[in-house]
Amino acid sequence: MRQSALLLPTLKEDPADADVISHRLMLRAGLIRQLASGLYTWLPLGLRVLRKVERIIREEMDRSGGQEVSMPVVQPAELWMETGRWQKMGDEMLRMQDRHDRDFCLGPTHEEVITDLFRREVHSYKQLPVNFYQIQTKFRDERRPRFGVMRAREFTMKDAYSFHLDQASFDVTYDEMYRCYERILTRMELKFRAVQADTGNIGGDISHEFHVLANSGEDTIAYSDTGTYAANLEKAAAQRPDRASPGTQTMSRVDTPNSKTIEAVASLLGLPVEQNLKTLIVEADPEDTDNPSGLVAIILRGDHELNEIKAAKLPGVRSPLAFAQEEAITRAMGASVGSLGPVNCAIPMFVDPSAAAVADFVCGANEDGVHLQGVNWQRDVVLDEQQIVDVRNVVEGDMAPGGQGKIQFLRGIEVGHIFQLGDSYSASMQATVLDHDGNSVTPTMGCYGMGVTRLVAAVIEQNHDDNGITWPTPLAPFQLHIIALNGHKSDAVKEASEALYAQAVAAGVETLLDDRAERPGVKFAEADLVGIPHRVVIGDRGLKNGAVEYRLRSDAEATEIPLQDVLSKIG
């Protein structure tokens, strides 16, 4: 490709609307342009990268036994009504009507469509297992699109769906997909981690997210320093500590009229924050008729934070989680926030294991302006085992489950998520096959997503320097960048660069020839920005000795090499 004929609009200045580095560089290097919030046009250079990502994914999916299909972006409402998701998806789904006033949506995902295909076309256990995938445009009307293509509304996703006769078959495919994802990300030369993930509202036990490590990542991942445990913060649990020892102090009241926060009480009493327990009140599941208060108490150690996803899963707690209103709390507890505690607690209560491990603790007295100290479980508050449940976010330094070392944090960009769907879609859509004995059985399903456009941004997050992008070779839009210095003035430069270009193209090397009549400084700056791995500079200075300058984008220094040696450097 000749740069003089390529739409490659680079920006010298940072665009005002871009904050994260990958977004800035994608705009500056002329990979994308924004059309509207969360909607992006891919320019020629960006699209070349996107296609490379797709190709790697496609090759590895095929290698793993996936069968590629392509399903429509526009989907009829009827399918979504079958699974109840026409309602459940809410505003995230963009809906529309056709000329006959029939309801459609832009597909945010394709479980319904693939299950419909399956039930129409697959009828025998002999055809199982199967794993269909596509690389497709998805539309999700995000609350808050951000970070460029990292969280866009329209984006490209590789989504795969597998169907199985039994759990054992699913497990095999799940494991295969896990390894497939590892291969994909490894080929892209990314630093990544697979972590245990929350399974969301779909259920099932196993679920893994694949995170590309980057400080700008939206997710926190917790991993053990021994490397054997890794989980999304939403899911991560600490090793369960032993229950508290009986304690030595007697329980006593202490006036704390102006101390409403844990920190204030701790400093007033001269005790560490960990010795204080905090009591959070959340709304109860409205369908739980055994709980007239409509509230549930959750007890945490003072220095810990509630994990709202874990809390919303507790029996009798409203999901999604909602904190209780002040007024309701005062009515049920006889005291307001700041003086609450587990002693004589009038509503159902859950206690985090780390809170249950504290002896001689401090807590609110359920009486405004009063706390209790020297409190002990069992003696002062009876707890049964079902009430002790993990509901907090792990913190760095926690012991990992099973004693697998200490937990540390990293930031990650979620680029893949694999999980078990069970039979929720196949059952609600009556997708069945006949088994060996002629019985109709409902297959169990797996789902494997990977954010294709997001991967491009993630790659840049990991591969850039002060001057621009430093593409890993497998994803670079071109392999070789020939920079002809003053080619419009020097016939020698023009001839040499054209000859090398023709030779490289003939050898099948993806080559970009900077044949523009720009000054050298402009060419160098833009070449760094665009980040093509191999760079050859052809100028009169070197040509006198039959030499050109060769440099890897990732190297600091260039070397002089004979013109005829260039192609041997690449590949």
Partner RNA sequence: CGGGGCGUAGCGCAGUCUGGUAGCGCACUUGGCUGGGGGCCAAGUGGUCGCAGGUUCAAAUCCUGCCGUCCCGACCA
- Site residues for RNA, window 217-256 (CB under 7 A)? 218-219
Q: Given candidates 431, 537, 563, 566, which one binds RNA under the rule CB under 7 A?
A: 537
The span from the CA of 38 to the CA of 453, in Å, is 12
Among 213, 349, 525, 567, binds RNA (CB under 7 A): 525
Decide: is 7 part of the binding site for RNA (CB under 7 A): no
Q: Are strands 39-42 and 74-76 parallel, antiparallel or unpaired?
A: unpaired
Q: Restricting to residues 545-564, which ones interact with RNA according to CB under 7 A?
A: 549, 558
13 binds RNA (CB under 7 A): yes
Strands 154-164, 444-451: parallel, antiparallel or unpaired by DSSP?
Answer: antiparallel
Determine if the peptide bond prior to 320 is cis (ω within 30°): yes
Helix or strand (DSSP H, E) at 498: helix 491-506
Q: Which is nearer to RNA, 280 or 529 (CB)?
A: 529
Two structure tokens written together for 563: 């013109």
Q: Does 168 bind RNA (CB under 7 A)?
A: no
- Residue 533 interacting with RNA (CB under 7 A): no
Q: Using the rule CB under 7 A, is 335 a contact of RNA?
A: no
Q: Which of 80, 147, 174, 178 binds RNA (CB under 7 A)?
A: 147
Residue of 125, 477, 526, 536 interacting with RNA (CB under 7 A):
526
CA 270 → CA 83, 105, 263, 301, 317, distances in Å? 57, 60, 10, 16, 35
Residue 34 in contact with RNA, rule: CB under 7 A? yes
Is 95 a residue that touches RNA (CB under 7 A)? no
The stretch near RNA (CB under 7 A) out of 9-17, 128-136, 160-168, 401-409 is 9-17
Per CB under 7 A, the segment of 11-19, 46-54, 58-66, 246-254 that binds RNA is 11-19
| Contact stretch for RNA (CB under 7 A) within 36-44, 165-173, 358-366, 497-505 | 36-44
State the minimum distance, in angstroms, from the CB of residue 561 to RNA: 12
Whether the CB-CB separation of 479 and 533 falls below 8 Å is answered with yes
- Residue 485 sits in the site that holds RNA (CB under 7 A): yes
Beta carbon of residue 461, minimum distance to RNA (angstroms, whole number): 14
Bond before 401 cis per omega within 30 degrees: no
Site string for RNA, 113-142 (x = CB under 7 A): ---------------------------x-x
What residues numbered 301-330 form the site for RNA, per CB under 7 A?
308-309, 320-321
Count the alpha carbons within 13 Å of 285 in the hemisphere toward its beta carbon: 13
What letter would DSSP give residue 436?
A: T
The one-character DSSP state at 239 is: P
Determine the Cα–Cα distance for residues 291 and 160; give it in Å rounded to an integer. Answer: 43
Under rule CB under 7 A, residue 531 binds RNA: no
Return the residue matching tokens 């059985």.
Answer: 441
State which of positions 432-461 bind RNA (CB under 7 A): 449-451, 453-454
524: contact with RNA by CB under 7 A: yes
The footprint of RNA on this chain (CB under 7 A) covers a number of residues equal to 71
Could you give the CA distance from residue 486 to residue 540 in angstroms, rounded to a whole number?
Answer: 8
CB of 276 to RNA, least distance (A): 23
Please say which residue, 305 or 510, places its beta carbon nearer to RNA. Answer: 305
| Interacting positions 408-437 with RNA (CB under 7 A) | 414-417
Q: What are the backbone angles phi and psi of residue 114, rounded to the nearest 5°?
A: -70, -35
Task: Kindly identify the residues of this chain, within the stretch 45-84, that bind RNA according to CB under 7 A.
Answer: none
From 123-131, 184-192, 436-444, 511-519, span contacting RNA (CB under 7 A): 511-519
> What share of residues in the chain are helix, strand, coil (percent, to 5)?
30, 30, 40
Q: Per CB under 7 A, does 152 bind RNA?
A: yes
CB of 520 to RNA, least distance (A): 3
- 357/421 with CB nearer RNA: 421
Is 10 a binding residue for RNA by CB under 7 A? The answer is yes
Residue number with CB closer to RNA (185 or 381)? 185
Element (H, E) at 155: strand 154-164
DSSP classification of residue 339: S
Q: Does residue number 103 form part of the binding site for RNA (CB under 7 A)? A: no
In the bound state with RNA, the residue whose beta carbon lies nearer, of 145 and 422, is 145
C-alpha distances (whole Å) from 376 to each of 211, 240, 352, 356, 361 are: 42, 19, 15, 9, 7
CA distance 25 to 60: 28
Which residue, 265 or 456, is less far from RNA as judged by CB? Answer: 456
Could you give the angle at which helices 44-63 and 452-462 cross, rounded to 10 degrees?
A: 110
* 88: contact with RNA by CB under 7 A: no
464 belongs to the binding site for RNA (CB under 7 A): no
The whole-angstrom separation of Cα 314 and Cα 352 is: 12
What's the DSSP call for residue 134? E
Near RNA by CB under 7 A: residue from 104, 125, 155, 471: 155
Q: Which of residues 269-298 bind RNA (CB under 7 A)?
A: none
Beta pairing, strands 39-42 & 32-36: antiparallel
Nearer to RNA, 54 or 540 (CB): 540
Rule CB under 7 A: say whether 106 interacts with RNA.
no
Please name the helix (run of DSSP H) or strand (run of DSSP E) that holds residue 222, with its range, or none.
strand 219-224
Q: Is 488 in the site for RNA (CB under 7 A)?
A: yes
Q: Locate all alpha helices (DSSP H) within 7-158, ordered by sequence.
A: 21-28, 44-63, 77-82, 85-88, 111-121
Scan residues 170-189 and list those touching RNA (CB under 7 A): none
CA–CA separation, 500 vs 96, rounded Å?
A: 53
Cis status of the peptide bond prior to 353, with omega within 30 of 0: no
* Spatial distance between the Cα atoms of 75 and 138, rounded to a whole number of angstroms: 11
Pick from 67, 522, 546, 555 the residue near RNA by CB under 7 A: 522
Of 11 and 567, the one with the shorter C-beta distance to RNA is 11
